[in-house]
Amino acid sequence: MTVLTRLLGSTPFRLTVAYMGAFVAAAALIVLYVAWQANELLTSKAVEALRAEVAGLRAQFEAGGRPRLVAAIKERVSEPGSGLYLLVDADGTRLAGNLPRLPAALAEDGQGHLFSYPRSASGSGPRERLATGFSMSVAGGLTLVVARDIEDQRQLAAGIGRLALLSFGLLCALGVGAGILISRSMVSRIDKVTETSRQIMAGDLSRRIPLSGSGDELDRLSEGLNAMLARIEELLAALREVSDNIAHDLKTPLNRLRNRAEAALRSSDAVTHREGLARTIEEADELIRTFNSLLLIARLEAGAAAESMMPVDLAEVIGDVAELYEPVAEEAGLRLAVAAEPGLCTVANRELVGQAVANLVDNAIKYSAATGVLVAAGAALAPPPPPPEIRVALKRAGDAIEIAVSDRGPGIAAEDRERALHRFVRLEKSRSRPGAGLGLSLVAAVARMHGGTVRLEDNAPGLRVVLSIPVRRSRVASSDNH
C-alpha cells in the first residue's frame, strides 16, 4: 500500500471530503436559488417598466394620433439606453423605431416574450442580442413593439455561472488538498502511537507516546495512555521487587523450617523433638501471617472490603489499640501516649482501620525498643531519663481525619519513604529483624481503600506516620438529619 493510497483511504480524508462535498452542494443550491430569484426580480422589474412605457405611448397616440406616436418613438430612440421600439403599418413598413424588423417571436397577447434581434453595424458584442418586450395593435392598422435589451443581463448571469463553477472547482481542489494535509498529519501521529505500542509490546516499557504540544484530543488521549503506561511500568517493577523479596523472605524461613524438622528427625531425644516441633509451628505461623497479609492487601486493592463500611468513632478505635499495646510498650521500656479528639466519626471499616493503626504502633515499638534498652542500661549510673515515648494522635484536618503515630527510633531517610510503602520492602540490608515488610504496605492499602493517604515524616528524631482518612457520612445519618 503506497503512502498516497493510505492517505486517501484514511478516515480524516474521507470525512474532510464528505464535509467539503456537503458544503459545496449547499453552496451550489444557495447560489442557484439566489441567481434564480435575482433573474425573476430583474425580469419582473423590466416587464413592469415596459407596461408603463406602453401605457405612455398609448396615451401619446390617443392625444395626437399617428404623428404624435411617431414623434414620441423617435424621441425615445434618440435617447441612449436599452429601449427598443418599432412601429409598422399594415404593409409591414417601418414608420419609426430602432428595431430592423418585426420580431417573429412576439405575439399580440399582452404578455412579455423573449426574442433575438441583430445588433446594429456600429455596435460591438455578439451578432444577435437578446431582448424582451410586447407587441400590440394600434388603431389604423399599426403594430407597436416596445422592448428592452437584456443581453448585458444575460452575459452577467453567464459570467456569474462561470465564476460559480470556477469557485466550486477551486473549493473541491482545496477540499481534497486540505483532506490530504489533515490525513497526513493525523496518520503521522497515529503511526507514532502504533510504533510506540509495538515497542512497548516488544518489552520496552519505558517508551511513551510523543505529544505534539497542541493540547488537542490526541494529546489528551496520549497523556492518558502515558499515565497508564507509567502505572503499568510501576506495577511491573513492584511485581519484580515483590518476587525478589518473596524469594528471599520466604525461602529463608522455609529452609529453617526444613532444617529444624530434619534435625528433630535425626535426634532421638523427646525434648529435642518437642522443641523442634514447637519452633516449626512458630515458623509456620509466621509464614501463614505473611500470606494472610498478602491476601488482605490484594483484597483491599481489589475493593473487596469496601462493602463493610459503617460509621466508626475513630477515638474508640485508637483507645482499643492503645489498650492492647500499652503492656507491650512498657515491657520494651517505652511509654505509649494517646491524644485523641473525641467525637471524630467517619464511614470506614473498623477492623481494617484498627489493624492499620496496630501495625503502625507495632512498628514504632519494634524500632524504638533498642532506644528503650539503652535507657534501661544507663539507669544504674545516673537518674534515669523518662522512657522514649510513642505518641498516637487523632485530630481533624479540614475534610479529613488524621491518625499520627510518632516514635523516637532511627526513622527513615527522605529518599526511602515512598519506597517503604511497597510490599516486602525492608530498609535494613541484613533483613535480620522479624517481619516481612508488609506492615506499611498494608496501611497504605487501607488508606487507598478509604480514599485517603499515608505520609511518612521526620519526627526529629524518629518517624512520624500520618494516616489521613476523608470524613464521610453515612446515607442513613444524612437522611435522618434532613
Query: Whole-model pTM?
Result: 0.48
Q: Which CATH architecture has domain 3-158?
A: 2-Layer Sandwich (3.30)
* Domain 307-379+386-482 indexed as CATH 3.30.565.10: yes
Per-residue pLDDT of the chain (482 residues; tens, 9 = 90+): 566 676 666 677 777 777 777 887 888 888 788 878 877 787 778 778 888 888 888 888 888 888 888 888 888 888 887 888 888 888 888 888 888 888 877 766 667 778 888 876 555 556 788 888 888 888 878 888 888 888 877 787 788 778 888 888 888 888 777 777 777 777 777 878 888 888 888 878 788 888 877 777 778 888 888 888 888 887 777 677 666 666 666 676 777 778 878 877 777 777 777 887 887 887 777 777 767 666 666 666 655 555 677 888 999 999 999 999 999 888 888 889 999 888 889 888 888 888 889 889 988 888 886 555 444 444 444 455 566 788 999 999 888 999 999 988 888 888 888 877 776 666 555 445 555 667 788 888 888 888 889 999 888 888 999 999 998 765 544 444 44
Extents of the domains making up the chain: 3-158, 307-379+386-482
Q: Same CATH fold, 307-379+386-482 and 3-158?
A: no
Closest CA to 368 of 336, 395, 339, 323: 336
